[in-house]
Amino acid sequence: MIELDEFTAQVRAFLDGAAQRRPHPTGMVTWGEGTDRISYFGDEPAEVDKANVDAARDWQRIRFEAGFGWITGPEEYGGRGLSRLHDLAYDSVESEYDVPDTGVLSLIGLGMIGPTILEHARAEIRDAYLPAMYRGEVIACQLFSEPGAGSDLANVQTKAVRDGDEWVLSGQKVWTSVAHHSQIGMALCRTNPEQPKHKGITAFLVDMSLPGVEVRPLRQMSGGSEFNEVFLSDVRVPDDHRLGEVDGGWRVTMTTLMNERGSVGGEGAGPVSHVVQAPFLLAMLAAHGHSDDGALRRRLAEVVADLIATESLNRRAVRTLQAGGTPGPEASVSKLMFGSNLTRAAHLAAEIAGPAMAADTGLWGTYSWNELLLSTPALRILGGTEEIMKNILGERVLGLPKEPGNDAKVPFKDQLQAGAAS
Amino acid sequence: MSSLDAETTEAVRSSLREMFAGDRLDLPASLAALGWDDVVAEDPATATTLLFVEHGRALATSRALNSVICSALALDDAHTILLPGTDGLGSVATGDTTATGLVLGGLGVGGLGVGGLIDGDPAGRITVPVGTGDGVVLVAVDADPQPDAAPGFDPGSSVTRCTVALPASISGPTVSTTAWAASIAAAQRATAAEIVGVCTSALELAVAHTRAREQYGRPIGAFQAVRHRMSECHAAIESAKDTLRAAWVTTEDIGWAATVAKARAGRTQAEVMRHCIQVFGAMGLTEESDLHRYVTRAAALDGLLGGHLDLSVQLGDALLAGEPVHPVARIKETT
């Protein structure tokens, strides 16, 4: 394996040729300079959104062609076969350059579904999709949540019925991020209602262009529309697009979810990391004349301390992976802290700005926090609610008994008859 | 002053609820039909609180808050008062050439268009309180109004930011700083009641949701993590109501008491909305559920006449200084 120093030099050479350095190294903030857009979710109008997606695809292709598109991926699929440390080294160097945000591809598709396909799909499906995904051509979404299956994901009711070499899928999915940009979706379906809920689920890769797939946007409180409802009406999926065993979908799902918690928690502040950091918040405190306010200083220090702690936690998780471990329940801690850090940072900003944040007075870096403020409740819900994360920690890390209830033992169909599934 | 008995209170509450449930609300006409002035004369605390709680519950938009200030200042209801500053607690002093602040009341479709404020002063004038050595002069200025900022946080809100030009020499009816402070206190009490109403409705929605929504084979309200949140909301709302009741029975230092009530109500909405939105899961984040309307309205009301964080700082400062504080006293300090 290539040494980290040499790898980093390669990364720099590539980025020097392909991108511009940011005017300031990360961490430097000049108050009032540059964009003050503070948005976790894509809340732009459709045409801007599309241009951003195109830019993300282009940048991912350039990375891939230069050998940086899937640093930890196997070489046969265009990956580099390197470690998570190499991956992190790349991210760290790239953050010094002004490059398009590739979240639309990477967070779900490349971060969660790619690894799931690699582990659970058959060879021809891996060949068909993995290089295309990491080259930026194919965006993937999770067809997981349903109106009756949120926190209780194993309660999915979308049906898949076998018909020769195909499966016929019908049902409704909801809260599906990036479905409107996706070429494929990973769908969890009920294939065996005779079994308890976790044991009758099968996972499929669904080509989103198939007849019967309909995507409808949902509008968010923060203004944009990044979530969707996805209706599946007699969608015919070939059996070779099945992931894992028939009725073995829950194990496949765990691969995805463990990567999700790592992915969501591990990205730090993601698209808002330029503001959720000590120098920016410090500059904001000064700009609003509150540098000497003891209460705000204490709050700032608390937020910064937790940001540092989370970063350290994420590094420790990487070292665990490095030592051959798999993403474990500690990813839940990371996810919890991620939601809490961004929420507290947004509330701190609201407190610093005071009433000036209530109306758009054109004051730089002030009203623009509203979008994040209105998005923070989502961060405590997406990728597993705080309640679920805490239950995982309680049961799997602390060894507490499970919450009472036996719905995991009764056949799914009996649960439905009892009116237990909404 | 007498007080309404329980039966009458209930009758008034249900009349108000019915009124706010109506399609096109003409608040002054509807209140007149209810004989509202008599109800207020009988028991101003109960009547005002009932009115604004129901106003909040229904997410109504009206000029009611403006009327509270007018009534406290013994002004005709047609005056549209400009509350200075981004939160309505600022000040305008002699010599200022413009005044920026908030106007309360429904602006209707078309906003501040030809014909002035909808339902407001037909001449399209705005009344600006200007602090002088002798008291607060209420200066009527031509509005020539264009709202100078988007309503911001709550698109359905009945608060708009305006800037108006002030004449070189100011004149108008003068009220004492104490009277002005009393009118602001009355508006803070009304806003606190409205926040309580918004929170009450949001909690009802959340409780209904946690009773109906099933995960893991039972209603999510059966899980302690969820039901404790609902209990905390209830406690926060009851605490806000009691603080507000206390603000009404205080005879001295009503400004201080009203500020405490407004601060408590503001903190209540922060707690209640945080919990309610969490138990709604992803539904509460989108326009699929009505909850977002309560979240944004409550936040907008919190920001009006002093947000709870700012008011807490003020109250703390005042306590440390060893004296109570009137809004106008504070206003002077900040000019």
Q: How far apart are the first and last CA of chain A?
A: 52
Inter-chain residue contact B281 with A151, CB threshold 8 Å: yes
Residue of higher predicted confidence among B58 and A95:
B58
pLDDT for B153 equals: 61
Residue B114 above 60 pLDDT?
Answer: no
Exposed / middle / buried, residue B78 (Cβ in 10 Å: 0-12, 13-18, 19+): middle
Q: What percent of chain B has pLDDT over 70?
A: 85
The answer, yes or no, to whether residue A29 has pLDDT greater than 50, is yes
More confident residue, B335 or A152: A152
Q: By the 8 A CB rule, do B216 and A395 touch?
A: no
Higher pLDDT, B43 or A422: B43
Could you tell me which of A105, A124, A126, A123 has the C-alpha nearest to residue A115?
A126
Contact B120, B105 (CB under 8 A): yes
pLDDT of residue B180: 95
Residue A118 confidence (pLDDT): 96
Looking at mean pLDDT, say which of A197-211, A215-229, A265-279, B155-169 comes out highest.
A197-211
Task: Summarize pLDDT for A359-407 with one digit per residue, the tens.
Answer: 677 788 888 888 888 888 888 888 788 888 888 888 888 888 887 766 7
Residue B110 pLDDT > 70:
no
pLDDT of residue B115 exceeding 60: no
What's the complex ipTM? 0.73
Q: Which residues pair with B102 in a beta bridge?
A: B83, B161
- From chain A, pick out residues whose CB is under 8 angstroms from the CB of B313: 295
Q: Is the pLDDT of residue B150 over 90?
A: no
Q: What is the CA angle B289-B291-B294, rounded to 5?
A: 150
Q: Residue B161 — φ and ψ, nearest 5°?
A: -90, 135
Q: What is the pLDDT of residue A221?
A: 75
Residue A168, classed as helix, strand or coil, is strand
Q: What is the pLDDT of residue B282?
A: 83
The pLDDT-based confidence of A332 (bands split at 50, 70, 90) is confident
For residue A44, is pLDDT > 80? no
Closest residue in chain A to residue B151, using alpha carbons only: A359
pLDDT band at A416 (very low <50, low <70, confident <90, very high): low
Q: Which of A260, A267, A330, A371 is catalytic?
A: A260
Alpha-carbon separation of residue B6 from A309, A394, B156 (angstroms):
55, 48, 33
Q: What is the 3-state secondary structure (H, E, C) of A294-349?
A: HHHHHHHHHHHHHHHHHHHHHHHHHHHHHCCCCCCCHHHHHHHHHHHHHHHHHHHH
pLDDT digits over A180-195, tens only?
999 999 999 999 999 9
Which of B215, B272, B312 best probes binding to A when mutated, by most A CB atoms within 10 angstroms? B215
Phi and psi at A407, nearest 5°, equal -65, -15
Q: A262-286: string of b/e by CB count within 10 Å (b at 16+)?
A: bbbbbbbbbbbebbbbbbbbbbbbe
Residue A64 has pLDDT above 50, yes or no: yes
Cβ atoms of A141 and A109 closer than 8 Å: yes
Looking at residue B332, its pLDDT comes to: 41
> Residue B256: its pLDDT value, please?
87
What digits encode the pLDDT tens for the residues A5-28?
999 999 999 999 999 988 765 556
List the 130-159 stretch of A: residues with Cβ below 8 A of B.
Answer: 145, 148-152, 155
Decide if A166 is catalytic.
Answer: no
Element (H, E) at B297: helix B291-303
pLDDT band at A266 (very low <50, low <70, confident <90, very high): low
DSSP state of A22: P
Pairwise CB contact (< 8 Å): B282 & A227 = yes
Q: Do B223 and A356 touch (CB under 8 A)?
A: no
Burial-class residue B43 by CB neighbours within 10 Å (0-12, 13-18, 19+): buried
Average pLDDT over residues A320-343: 76
